[in-house]
Structure 1
């Protein structure tokens, strides 16, 4: 990445757009602590994490970051509820508290009563809702979504985008990587990536 200087405040939403191969996924990987920048600095929630060790990045990712992917990444042999519980377990939440948070998250995404179903029994839009519930059951400070509507039809795409904005709390920053103009317009800000250069449109 080059010239990728920007700040994202809590509660803000930003769309990241650009052609395939432009660097969007690299930017998302750095923001999600899956990779480290070779130059420059990256601060997450006031902490300089540029040179954090792999172990430290794992802890910060667990505590601060949520992910929603285009391919859902659900565990097919687990129920809907168990898929959400996996995310909570990773974050150190167990037992009755975890179950309550998981059921509440499923209610918020419109899947109340479907907690015992398995992913293969659900539509694409419903599976994406499970992935969203897993990401927000404990609200992250940074919610990163990589083409979350890429596998959905236009109706489900609109519903999922509306849902992402609805379930994002006042302290959660939302980042949506997308090729979809309608999805990009739903965000308050837009970052355009081209050949590794990041520019804020309208800035």
Structure 2
């Protein structure tokens, strides 16, 4: 299997449907992307000081292709996928009503709320309910290709620098930082055997 080509966002940035200043575009033609996000590409090319790209399986604002990112804010990655321990390998059973707790290094930056990432080891589906995706309408689920890394929104860490994510019916519940799929940024669920969650280092 060939290594997927991915785009890594090295800083908070905006992707857009035209290679111009994002301030000149309406909100439906641009998307905030937090630093640390890693997305799988269908294709890409260089246009001036921007990278023009199409995403594999993902859509932002209804668009999958013809996105532009300012080249100094990204890196193109062609490395093998890294396997991370899944939620089910990290948290002991049962998975019907449990939680995942992680220790994070946050210092004085807790207000950024982007301290951990959801990492997909395989092609999967995130959804708005913790049920088999076959029973959900397309508007309530999103295909996520293997190798995707999404920055998650967290609460302020507790006194011991820990953040916690609930597990319901074999799914971990989470919110995305700055990103929406199908109009939803909150209340997403991922199957515990398909994804891992790691602190951003």
TM-score of the aligned structures, taking structure 2 as reference length: 0.25
Q: Which has the higher helix share?
A: 1
Q: Which has the higher strand share?
A: 2
Instruction: Tell me which of the two structures has the higher relative contact order, counting C-alpha pairs closer than 8 angstroms and 6 or more residues apart.
Output: 1
TM-score of the aligned structures, taking structure 1 as reference length: 0.25
